[in-house]
Structure 1
Amino acid sequence: MQVAINRKDIKFMPDSSRVIARFLYTGDERALNTIRSVLGITEVSALEALNPILRDYSMRHRNISKIFEKHFNKISHLLKQLKIDSDTLSVFQKILIGSYFTMEYSIESAAFFNPSIMEHPDQSETGTEEKRVILSFRATGEGHISSIVFRTGVLDKNNNLSIEPVGKMLEEAKHIRRYVYEKDAFKSKLNEMKDFHAIIPPGLILDKLNDTFTYGELRDCIKEGRKSLHLAADKEILFNQIIWLASSHYELDFSLDTNISERVIFPVSTNEKNGIEDARFVKFADDDGKMNYYATYTAYDGTTILPKMLDTRDFYHFRVLPLHGEIAQNKGMALFPRKVNGKYAMLCRLDGFNNYIAFSDNISIWREAKLLQQPKFPWEFIQIGNGGSPIETPEGWLVITHGVGPMREYVLGASLFDLQNPEKEIGRLKSPLLIPNTEEREGYVPNVVYSCGSMINNDELIIPYAMSDYASTYATVNLRELLNELKNSK
């Protein structure tokens, strides 16, 4: 029996008009020439040059003058080379200079894909049998740089989705705060990653720091440490590990007057400068009953991928931290929505071919994993992976999977695992749940349907999915029909 799937008409398409104002830097020499040119005109001329810029771009960006001023502050240190005190410059001069170090970036001009869906923390003003939801997407622009963006909507009793108004004034985080570290806790994290103290004496770096320190203070300490020692290559790698651990932590705050559709989580740290990929969001129930939202994602620096995690309660404030341990090495980690038998649980794919499951006492440290699933059917012979976090049902943990088969065609499947022992597979669909149709086959990467997280509502499974890495849509499946098929699949 083939489980019936109901494709919805709604489409989420790339929109090149959605832009953010990014910092633009082309090197010290060019920057100095630009600053000289601006300071070479009168203050009146500077104001005349600035007026049309503000007039044009204030319609496209909220507080564009503040953005220009922030970007001026990023290059203000260069004024010392010109023997100019920035305090002597007028506000107009500073803002005009900042405009030359600003560019628009169209965040979703290339693709709008790999969605996940979750219940919105705000359910006010919804009707009977309605539910407000948040959808996350991977938005990709010029240079294939990926970021995380959001949409909100309301599902009715038939799970038809009404998209709420989408804001046009996109913004990165208003504040980006580097983590302030406690020395003892940081030492413990390093020891969990590697036997740090056995190779580099602790007094070399960490003992020179205060009990609490910032990323900048640690970076300066390492710089001094490198001067005092000639390190072999393996020891230099450890220095780099310390910097990686420190730079991976940061926090984001978005302005309260932004709509969630206007908030853009754009790459911040160096290990994600080429993209934040495939965020798998899940609403997580803590031991105390409080709800938190976690998202595992892949950070990409152009060469290396690193699994990371962000968490939020309100989608205004986000905390970002690295995932480390021996198994935090590959794409596609997906967190269970609660602890299982007192431990955090995670789906992962260590080898790129099979599904694994891992358990941990610490949500950011993952040491060991067990093989959970191997490719079984022809449509998944190349690889099998998860399509988002497991979903708890009375019959077991429901996991949407992706399988790759002939012609590198990506399809979606489904599996069911025991609630008390999720290492035990109850059943797996023999046929794909969702295969690319004629329309869905065409795109940036042909023949691909892909999801990063589903949810249950009104007795149906809601599956948002991407169409050939270009645009997105969603489909629904009768939950009882799907569970019955899974239980009878062995």
Structure 2
Amino acid sequence: MTERAKLNFYDRVLRPDPSRTVVRPFEPSYPEGFDGGTSRTQETVDLTVALDEAELARQLKGVTLSLDENHRDVDAMLLRRFDEVAGRIEGADRINAEQRRLIGAYCSEEYAYEAAALFNPSAVLHPDQSGLPEGTIRFVMSLRGIGEGHVSSVTFRTGTWTPGGELVVDDPSPTAVPPLIETCEKGGDVAVRLCCAGSRTISEIVLFPVLPSQRQGIEDMRLVRFCDDDGSIIYHGTYTAFSGAEVLSELLSSTDFRSFEMRVLTGKAAIGKGMALFPRRIAGNYAMLGRQDNKNIWLHVSDDILHWEGGAKIIAPRFPWEFVQMGNCGSPIEIAEGWLVIVHGVGTVRNYCIGACLLDKNDPLKLLARTPRPVLAPSPHERDGYVPNVVYSCGAIVQGRTMFLPYAVADSFTAFATASIDNLLSVME
């Protein structure tokens, strides 16, 4: 029997923290089909402006005391929220600053975005690699946080890693800052711009659902550091937008992890989960891995990063641990031998395991080799959680001849491992 790849594990784990909260928009509404005569927001506004000065001051003091512990610039945040809803309020121009702040509070909610789970990580090189010892890299890692209502958001961590040496995951800030949200048109496509300039560190950024397509969550972001043919660098993240009824693939883009754009992917290949962009063009075109049939891994090429059609099936289940279905565990990684693709396979009792394969560098339609046994499988002490019997990743980093693999356990928390590229290739067939 073929040997399994040898992994080295770190003791460091990331677990969900219900104390980490973000203030996000909230507006109550009547049930569909019920006519209340006016909006519930307007009714709340009318009650607020009717308060006498003393009661208004008491309510504002309570709001400030409640939010000041975990949030900065509370007054400005509440005024900004009022401005976002002012267009739907009668007589908004006659409302004073104190009333505006309290109305902003009534139209907001404090949300514990990683209270239930913190998992499905994806790691890329940090834009800033300065001031590091030789051989050490700094990384940015996205994670899927789950909070109330099983709604998924994206949060970030940073850290440093030395192949064969130390892993440091920076402690996150206790503060999370909601992004400024702006909808715009770009080249005929609707884009959402998210400005996170108020965040002092990347760990303060939280991307929560802002579009109807994302109402139930932004899931499983696969980050990639994309180098275009002109040498320019941009970070893309493909993710699953879940409305509660439909699944769509969407794209997040940023050059600096300070401002982002969200855009919808179109085409028949973009209706499924788990799309992963190659880190550069191939023969002048963008390339993407997908799984639109929910079973096999497909390759797609396009001259438009937002539109994906057709495709060709390149990897199908072959070994028992992947008989049910397969998918990628992040964007392909370019190594000397070809494109290294970390994959997941689903087997008996819906066990999710992690494996790997190698695609031809010039023609990724060609599968060169794959691991016949899982590289990583749920272990006895890591099986239990929100979804048992699952290990999963959304993106690894290769530095030199070593792979850094952050991975999720039981859809609950995040752990870390490394693997030798030479050893990984040696167990493929």
Which of the five TM-score ranges fits, normalised by the shorter chain?
over 0.9
What CA deviation, in whole Å up to 9, does each residue of 1:149-178 have, x standing for no partner? 1000011242431122311110121x2221
Q: Structure 1: any 5+ residue segments left out of the alignment?
A: 187-244
Counterpart of 1:214 in structure 2 is none
What CA deviation, in whole Å up to 9, does each residue of 1:125-153 have, x standing for no partner? 21121111111101110111111110000
Partners of 1:286 and 1:330 in 2: how far apart?
26
Counterpart of 1:52 in structure 2 is 62
Q: How far apart are residue 90 of structure 1 and its match?
A: 2.4
Q: Structure 2: any 5+ residue segments left out of the alignment?
A: 30-37
Partners of 2:265 and 2:185 in 1: how far apart?
18
Q: Higher strand proportion, which one?
A: 2
Partners of 1:372 and 1:88 in 2: how far apart?
63
Partners of 1:421 and 1:15 in 2: how far apart?
44
Partners of 1:79 and 1:2 in 2: how far apart?
63
Partners of 1:365 and 1:72 in 2: how far apart?
37
What does residue range 51-450 of structure 1 map to in structure 2 within 5 Å?
A: 51-77=61-87, 79-80=89-90, 85-173=91-179, 175-181=180-186, 185-186=187-188, 246=190, 249-450=191-392
Partners of 2:28 and 2:123 in 1: how far apart?
39
What CA deviation, in whole Å up to 9, does each residue of 1:251-276 have, x standing for no partner? 11111542100101111111111111
* Larger deviation, residues 141-150 vs 36-45: 36-45
Task: Give 3-state SS (helix, strand or coil) of 2:423's partner.
Answer: helix
Counterpart of 1:19 in structure 2 is 21
Structure 1 vs Structure 2: percent identity of aligned residues? 38
Partners of 2:355 and 2:88 in 1: how far apart?
56
Report if the CA contact (8 A) 2:177-2:199 is conserved.
no
Report if the CA contact (8 A) 1:398-1:414 is conserved.
yes
Task: Give 3-state SS (helix, strand or coil) of 1:294's partner.
Answer: strand
Q: Which amino acid aligns with 1:139?
A: G
Partners of 2:238 and 2:43 in 1: how far apart?
43
Partners of 1:328 and 1:33 in 2: how far apart?
41
Partners of 2:302 and 2:110 in 1: how far apart?
42
Report if the CA contact (8 A) 1:106-1:142 is conserved.
yes
Q: How far apart are residue 454 of structure 1 and its match?
A: 0.7
Task: Give 3-state SS (helix, strand or coil) of 2:134's partner.
Answer: coil
What CA deviation, in whole Å up to 9, does each residue of 1:35-77 have, x standing for no partner? 3332223224312331232133122211111222223234435
Instruction: Tell which structure's C-alpha radius of gyration is larger.
Output: 1
Task: Give 3-state SS (helix, strand or coil) of 1:480's partner.
Answer: helix
Partners of 1:294 and 1:75 in 2: how far apart?
31
Partners of 1:331 and 1:369 in 2: how far apart?
15
Partners of 1:253 and 1:77 in 2: how far apart?
21
Report if the CA contact (8 A) 2:330-2:393 is conserved.
yes
Q: How far apart are residue 78 of structure 1 and its match?
A: 5.5
* Larger deviation, residues 29-38 vs 392-401: 29-38
Report if the CA contact (8 A) 2:223-2:237 is conserved.
yes
* Larger deviation, residues 126-135 vs 299-308: 126-135
1:3 aligns to 2:5 (yes or no): yes
* TM-score of the superposed pair, with normalisation by structure 2: 0.94
Q: Which amino acid aligns with 1:469?
A: D
Counterpart of 2:35 in structure 1 is none
Counterpart of 1:464 in structure 2 is 406
Query: Alpha carbons of 1:79 and 1:119: their partners in 2 closer, same or farther (altered >3 Å)?
Result: closer
Q: How far apart are residue 290 of structure 1 and its match?
A: 1.5
Count of residue pairs brought into register by the alignment:
419
Report if the CA contact (8 A) 1:395-1:483 is conserved.
no
Partners of 2:193 and 2:414 in 1: how far apart?
29
Partners of 2:101 and 2:408 in 1: how far apart?
41
Counterpart of 2:395 in structure 1 is 453
Pairwise CA RMSD of aligned residues? 1.6
Task: Give 3-state SS (helix, strand or coil) of 1:69's partner.
Answer: helix
What CA deviation, in whole Å up to 9, does each residue of 1:189-223 have, x standing for no partner? xxxxxxxxxxxxxxxxxxxxxxxxxxxxxxxxxxx
Q: How far apart are residue 361 of structure 1 and its match?
A: 1.2
Q: Which amino acid aligns with 1:65?
A: D
Report if the CA contact (8 A) 1:273-1:302 is conserved.
yes
Counterpart of 1:35 in structure 2 is 45
Partners of 2:155 and 2:47 in 1: how far apart?
38
Q: How far apart are residue 29 of structure 1 and its match?
A: 5.0
Partners of 1:86 and 1:290 in 2: how far apart?
45
Q: Which amino acid aligns with 1:19?
A: T
Task: Give 3-state SS (helix, strand or coil) of 2:55's partner.
Answer: helix
Partners of 1:405 and 1:131 in 2: how far apart?
35
